[in-house]
Amino acid sequence: MLVFILSSILLSGQSQKTFHDFTVETISGEKFDLSLLKGKKVLVVNTASKCGLTPQFEQLQALYRKYGGKNFTIPGFSANNFMNQEPGTNEEIIEFCTENYGVEFPMMSKISVKGDNMHILYQWLSRKAENGVMDSEVTWNFQKYLIDENGRLAEMFSPGVKPDDPRISSWIEGK
Protein backbone atom coordinates (compact mmCIF):
# COMPACT_ATOMS: atom_id res chain seq x y z
CA MET A 1 0.00 0.00 0.00
CA LEU A 2 2.79 2.45 0.89
CA VAL A 3 4.54 1.73 -2.42
CA PHE A 4 1.29 2.48 -4.28
CA ILE A 5 0.86 5.82 -2.46
CA LEU A 6 4.47 6.84 -3.07
CA SER A 7 4.34 5.89 -6.75
CA SER A 8 1.06 7.83 -7.13
CA ILE A 9 2.67 10.90 -5.61
CA LEU A 10 5.70 10.59 -7.88
CA LEU A 11 3.59 10.04 -10.99
CA SER A 12 1.30 12.97 -10.20
CA GLY A 13 4.33 15.24 -9.85
CA GLN A 14 5.62 14.15 -13.24
CA SER A 15 2.31 14.80 -14.97
CA GLN A 16 1.92 18.34 -13.55
CA LYS A 17 1.57 20.75 -16.45
CA THR A 18 3.82 23.77 -16.70
CA PHE A 19 3.33 27.16 -18.33
CA HIS A 20 5.34 25.81 -21.25
CA ASP A 21 2.66 23.20 -22.05
CA PHE A 22 0.22 25.81 -23.39
CA THR A 23 -0.29 27.49 -26.73
CA VAL A 24 -1.95 30.89 -26.90
CA GLU A 25 -2.86 33.29 -29.68
CA THR A 26 -1.04 36.56 -30.28
CA ILE A 27 -3.03 39.74 -30.69
CA SER A 28 -2.44 39.47 -34.44
CA GLY A 29 -4.05 36.01 -34.48
CA GLU A 30 -0.98 33.77 -34.72
CA LYS A 31 -0.49 30.69 -32.54
CA PHE A 32 2.27 31.12 -29.95
CA ASP A 33 3.73 28.07 -28.21
CA LEU A 34 4.72 29.07 -24.67
CA SER A 35 7.43 26.38 -24.72
CA LEU A 36 9.41 28.94 -26.74
CA LEU A 37 9.83 30.79 -23.43
CA LYS A 38 11.73 27.96 -21.71
CA GLY A 39 14.72 29.40 -19.89
CA LYS A 40 13.08 32.83 -19.44
CA LYS A 41 11.40 34.37 -16.44
CA VAL A 42 7.91 35.54 -17.40
CA LEU A 43 5.52 38.10 -15.96
CA VAL A 44 1.98 37.29 -17.13
CA VAL A 45 -0.49 40.16 -16.78
CA ASN A 46 -4.14 40.65 -17.70
CA THR A 47 -4.70 44.12 -19.10
CA ALA A 48 -7.46 46.59 -19.97
CA SER A 49 -7.31 49.93 -21.77
CA LYS A 50 -10.10 51.73 -19.88
CA CYS A 51 -9.15 50.97 -16.28
CA GLY A 52 -7.81 53.17 -13.51
CA LEU A 53 -4.75 50.88 -13.50
CA THR A 54 -4.14 51.26 -17.27
CA PRO A 55 -1.13 53.57 -16.63
CA GLN A 56 0.66 50.40 -15.43
CA PHE A 57 1.30 49.80 -19.15
CA GLU A 58 4.00 52.47 -18.86
CA GLN A 59 5.72 50.66 -15.99
CA LEU A 60 5.34 47.29 -17.70
CA GLN A 61 7.01 48.72 -20.80
CA ALA A 62 9.84 50.20 -18.67
CA LEU A 63 10.33 46.79 -17.03
CA TYR A 64 10.40 45.15 -20.45
CA ARG A 65 12.91 47.70 -21.77
CA LYS A 66 15.17 47.11 -18.79
CA TYR A 67 15.01 43.31 -18.57
CA GLY A 68 13.25 42.04 -21.70
CA GLY A 69 15.08 39.86 -24.14
CA LYS A 70 16.91 36.58 -23.72
CA ASN A 71 16.04 35.98 -20.04
CA PHE A 72 12.72 37.79 -19.41
CA THR A 73 9.47 38.68 -21.12
CA ILE A 74 5.96 39.97 -20.41
CA PRO A 75 3.01 38.49 -22.26
CA GLY A 76 -0.01 40.76 -21.82
CA PHE A 77 -3.48 39.23 -22.03
CA SER A 78 -6.27 41.74 -22.64
CA ALA A 79 -9.49 40.81 -20.89
CA ASN A 80 -12.92 42.37 -20.59
CA ASN A 81 -13.96 40.71 -17.32
CA PHE A 82 -14.20 43.80 -15.13
CA MET A 83 -16.83 46.47 -15.75
CA ASN A 84 -16.42 46.40 -19.56
CA GLN A 85 -12.99 48.06 -19.30
CA GLU A 86 -11.62 46.31 -22.41
CA PRO A 87 -14.43 46.58 -24.98
CA GLY A 88 -12.18 46.97 -28.02
CA THR A 89 -11.16 44.54 -30.73
CA ASN A 90 -7.64 43.11 -30.81
CA GLU A 91 -6.77 45.71 -33.48
CA GLU A 92 -8.06 48.58 -31.31
CA ILE A 93 -6.26 47.23 -28.25
CA ILE A 94 -2.82 46.99 -29.88
CA GLU A 95 -3.27 50.43 -31.48
CA PHE A 96 -4.13 51.90 -28.06
CA CYS A 97 -1.19 50.17 -26.35
CA THR A 98 1.41 51.24 -28.89
CA GLU A 99 0.16 54.80 -29.45
CA ASN A 100 -0.39 55.65 -25.77
CA TYR A 101 2.27 53.61 -23.99
CA GLY A 102 4.76 52.48 -26.66
CA VAL A 103 4.13 48.86 -25.73
CA GLU A 104 6.73 46.56 -27.28
CA PHE A 105 6.21 43.51 -25.09
CA PRO A 106 4.10 40.74 -26.64
CA MET A 107 0.36 41.23 -26.41
CA MET A 108 -1.92 38.24 -26.78
CA SER A 109 -5.43 37.95 -28.12
CA LYS A 110 -8.24 39.08 -25.82
CA ILE A 111 -9.39 36.28 -23.49
CA SER A 112 -11.47 35.71 -20.39
CA VAL A 113 -9.52 35.47 -17.12
CA LYS A 114 -12.40 34.35 -14.90
CA GLY A 115 -15.85 32.84 -14.98
CA ASP A 116 -17.32 29.98 -16.99
CA ASN A 117 -15.33 30.79 -20.13
CA MET A 118 -11.98 31.32 -18.38
CA HIS A 119 -9.07 30.66 -20.74
CA ILE A 120 -7.27 27.36 -20.05
CA LEU A 121 -4.00 29.18 -19.25
CA TYR A 122 -5.73 31.23 -16.56
CA GLN A 123 -7.32 28.06 -15.19
CA TRP A 124 -3.76 26.75 -14.75
CA LEU A 125 -2.51 30.03 -13.27
CA SER A 126 -5.30 30.28 -10.70
CA ARG A 127 -5.85 26.67 -9.57
CA LYS A 128 -3.43 24.88 -7.26
CA ALA A 129 -4.77 21.55 -8.50
CA GLU A 130 -3.36 22.48 -11.92
CA ASN A 131 -0.26 24.60 -11.15
CA GLY A 132 0.81 22.74 -7.99
CA VAL A 133 1.61 25.96 -6.11
CA MET A 134 -1.40 28.10 -5.16
CA ASP A 135 -5.01 28.97 -5.67
CA SER A 136 -5.74 32.56 -6.64
CA GLU A 137 -8.65 34.45 -8.05
CA VAL A 138 -8.12 37.12 -10.69
CA THR A 139 -9.63 40.05 -8.83
CA TRP A 140 -9.14 42.88 -11.34
CA ASN A 141 -7.15 44.06 -14.33
CA PHE A 142 -3.34 44.04 -14.09
CA GLN A 143 -2.96 41.05 -11.78
CA LYS A 144 0.55 39.65 -12.20
CA TYR A 145 1.81 36.07 -12.24
CA LEU A 146 5.53 35.30 -12.16
CA ILE A 147 6.66 32.17 -13.97
CA ASP A 148 10.18 30.79 -13.50
CA GLU A 149 12.53 29.57 -16.22
CA ASN A 150 11.15 26.02 -15.91
CA GLY A 151 7.55 27.10 -16.47
CA ARG A 152 6.52 26.82 -12.81
CA LEU A 153 4.35 29.39 -11.09
CA ALA A 154 6.59 31.33 -8.71
CA GLU A 155 4.39 34.13 -7.33
CA MET A 156 1.24 36.16 -7.84
CA PHE A 157 0.83 39.88 -7.22
CA SER A 158 -2.49 41.67 -6.88
CA PRO A 159 -3.46 44.36 -9.40
CA GLY A 160 -2.48 47.19 -7.05
CA VAL A 161 1.15 46.03 -6.94
CA LYS A 162 2.89 48.11 -9.57
CA PRO A 163 5.27 46.56 -12.09
CA ASP A 164 8.15 48.64 -10.66
CA ASP A 165 7.71 47.07 -7.22
CA PRO A 166 11.16 46.03 -5.90
CA ARG A 167 9.90 42.49 -5.22
CA ILE A 168 9.34 42.01 -8.95
CA SER A 169 12.69 43.43 -10.09
CA SER A 170 14.50 41.45 -7.35
CA TRP A 171 12.84 38.27 -8.60
CA ILE A 172 13.82 39.02 -12.19
CA GLU A 173 17.42 39.68 -11.09
CA GLY A 174 17.48 36.49 -9.02
CA LYS A 175 18.01 38.24 -5.69
Long-range contacts of 66-72 (CB under 8 A, 24+ apart): 66/169, 67/169, 67/172, 68/104, 68/105, 70/40, 71/39, 71/40, 71/41, 71/149, 72/40, 72/41, 72/42, 72/43, 72/172
Q: Sketch the domain layout of the chain as residue ranges.
A: 18-173
Q: What CATH number belongs to 18-173?
A: 3.40.30.10
**Which residues are catalytically annotated?**
51
pLDDT in tens, 70-121: 899 999 999 999 999 999 999 999 999 999 999 999 999 999 999 999 999 9
Tell me the per-residue pLDDT of 7-58, one tens digit each, with 9 for 90 and over: 444 444 456 899 999 999 999 999 999 999 999 999 999 999 999 999 999 9
